[in-house]
Structure 1
Amino acid sequence: MSDSPKRPDTNPSTTSSSMAIARQPILDAKRTVFGYELFDRSLTNGTYSAASDAALLFNLLSNADSEMRNTSKTIFINCTHRTLAGGHLELIEPDRVVLEVPPMPEDQSEPEDIETFLQTMIDVHRRGFRLAFDQTVMSPAYANWLPLASFVKVENNRVSTDQLRTIVRGLAEHPGIQLVVEKIETQEDYEAALSAGAKLFQGYWFSRPILVKGQTIRPAQAAIIHLINLVRNQASTAEIEEVFKHDPTLSFNLLRFINSAGFGLSCEITSFRHAVMLLGLKKLFRWAALLMTTSGAAGATPAVGYAAVVRGRLMELLAAELLPPEECDNAFVVGIFSLLDTMLGMPMREALESISLPQSVTDALLHNKGVLAPFLQLTLACENADDTLFAETAISLHLTGDQVNWAHLQALAWSDNITA
């Protein structure tokens, strides 16, 4: 991993019209991350607000240094009809981009208006972009739009389970179209949509920690906790190596992480002793924390581990703008362990009692205070609908939209490389 990737120009004069992005995961039936919908929050008069046009987001993604070019995840972007008709789409590659197209505005929803706009979408589709529509596209008035669809998105709170089943049956006649059920807010919502036949899901519920009660720490998790404690107490290499000798899976996962593309080493590390010699115990602390995302707690899903990795890297990169290197490593651990309660299936306070952690990490996770707490709040705000918290935290840290965006996109791409 490169510790000093190229950062954007942060001169205030270059960021007056900048925007900030938020993300929401789209998961498959196994709750593995299929892709992300990216939202843009433009900075206007010193405050962030949701923007109605995707032009700024297209400009951001087109940046030659944007790490999103390397991500394997599908990116969904909301568009206006004006955006599709403009030249902004020339800025981005269509391979992994889905354009979400709204129905025609009410004052332009006459049959001739709907038909007139069809040619614009045909042109966009021919250039390789996939298109997503809401369920309106299944109505007779939009019959000519439906063959262009790769996705149909349905808001869970606007249809009953029976209606959703009807939509699933209707789309079965179009095997090239995938259904995405949005606004999944509870486990009951997810299970109802799944039972109706949906295969892709989106909603803030997937971004929230989901505590599965009554679990015990699994052997793999206990081994990782033991490893973290040994590393934190600066145990000898021989003592730490014993942990790996008794748990080959742990050793394999650590070496897989360290040798991944995200780490950026010029030579392959073949043993834990080699890793200690090259990295030192301080760096191994963060990688030991990263191992927890592979531990597979009962009830936790692949998306939980992936979200923890994104949080860790995002926090580290945000902290790198303002804090010394040691605290950046701690910021990484805070991001990873912000989902520790979900991964272990127990309350956060109880989960942390068995792990030796720096005080700044504990303060942020348990008390929402200390030097790392605002970075955690900003990281969480990148996943939810709290625009006010997002704006207040970014401004209090004196971070520009460009800095937050750069860190966010880097974190998503880095996590792909680490978890692939």
Structure 2
Amino acid sequence: MSSLSSPVPPMLTPANDSSVAMIARQAIVNSQQAVVGYELFNRSRTGPGHTAATDVALVFTALSHAGAEDLVGSTLIFVNCTHESLSGGHLELIDPDKVVLEIPPLGHAATEEVSARYPMLAALRERGFHLAFNHTILQSAYAAWLPLADYIKLDLSVLAPDQLAVLISYAGRHTQAELVAEKVETAQQYDMASSQGIDLFQGYWFAKPSLVQTRLVSPSQAAILELISLVRKQASTEEIEEVLKKDAGLAFNLMRLINSSGFGLTREITSFRQAVMLLGLKKLFRWGALLLTLSRNGGPPPSVGSTAVVRGRLMELLALEIFDQELADEAFVVGIFSLLDAMLGMPMESALHLITVPEPVSNALLRREGPLGALLQLAQACENSDEATFETAAAALNLSSAQINGAHLKALAWADRIGE
């Protein structure tokens, strides 16, 4: 598969900022030069070699992307795979219709080994994944795989024009796959491939790989382990929701994933409870296990997440004093996401483009509007001893100092207990 060794522009962020991942993407275009998909490359690897973990990280980072621009939009995602990674549970977390798995050849494979791999590849395609292969699949040893090919990539840097013509002719007679000319670097290569019937193209002639900076909000390992433990015990939705409330990073990752285009939902999910119920225990377990595999040090200081958790709980408790349960749930969301800008290193408005929240939540976070905005101002005033704001917000909400102080102490105690 494509392994572009293009020069990569200097990173704009410190190399030791482990909350930042760098993904390169290169467009795959049709004959009208409209983008039909992107091939993704992990530019954050610190060690040599391509491993199953690389593939897992690449797909997961793409779906949990928290950058300033949409990473892939509604187009296809082409991802290089190892045979080891194809059985990974991470593939159950995404909408297969959006993903093209690029399957590597087996080297000097015997027909028996090719046949042995067929059931796994067939199962992936049956689940709805698209499969792509390089021109090796047109060799007789890979005849068993040929009916599974949705895309066949033809590398113009290694195939002479006469070889290309033979392969295109053979593919046209023996497969329904779409052909992709890759490593297209000149107008002459494009004209030659196009004239022979190839309709999809990839390479420097259209666009060199562009870097996309994506920030990751890393949950604590303790929260991930607690989530996995509860799921294994088939705990209730309410118990699992409580774990999400404890860790702002965990909450953000779940909401971002479940509302990503790669998850394939037709409606937006705005509450943790909805997300848990929709995802189900099996996928929650796989998601938690994957998060644990990819968890790492770095990111925002732990105090940022702790402050967000206390805010969320304080606002929830105060909302329960004067509003209904639904608004109390939204109050918690406002509190726990009120420091997303600090967690992601971007303006709050940009951060809110990455997740779906109800309009009252958005108005509170961006403009401190409505009762949720007043609650957030009150929670912040409790943190920084801003007496004027405290008095104004308390009066607007008709809350007494005793109610507020009592709720704040409860929120701090709750946060301390969950951090043990």
With structure 2 as the length reference, what TM-score do the two structures score? 0.43
Report the TM-score when normalising by structure 1: 0.43
Name the larger-Rg structure: 2
